[in-house]
Amino acid sequence: MTIVLIVVIGGAAIGAWSWVNMPAPTSSPAEIRTYNGTKLDPISDFQYEAINGTPDMNISTYTLTITGLVQNETVFTYGQIINQNAHYLVVATLPCVEGWSVTALWEGVSVKDLLQRANYSQNAQVLIFYGADGYTTSLPLSYIVNNNIIIAYKVNGLTLPKSEGYPFQLVAEGKLGYKWAKWITKIEVSNDTSFLGYWESQGYSNDANVT
Please write the tens of the pLDDT for every residue from 114-135.
Answer: 999 999 999 999 999 999 999 9
pLDDT one-digit tens code per residue, 120-179: 999 999 999 999 999 999 999 999 999 999 999 999 999 999 988 999 999 999 999 999
Taking the C-alpha atoms of residue 177 and residue 99, their distance in angstroms, rounded to an integer, is 10
Domains and CATH numbers, the chain: 2-6+63-202 (3.90.420.10)
Distance, CA of 186 to CA of 64 (rounded, Å): 5
Gap between the Cα atoms of 113 and 86, Å rounded: 8
Beta bridge partners of 169: 152
The answer to whether the Cα torsion of 66, 68, 121, 210 is positive or negative is: negative
Burial annotation 174-211 (CB, 10 A radius, 16+ → b, else e): ebbbbbbbbbbbbbbbbeeeebebbbbeeebebebeee
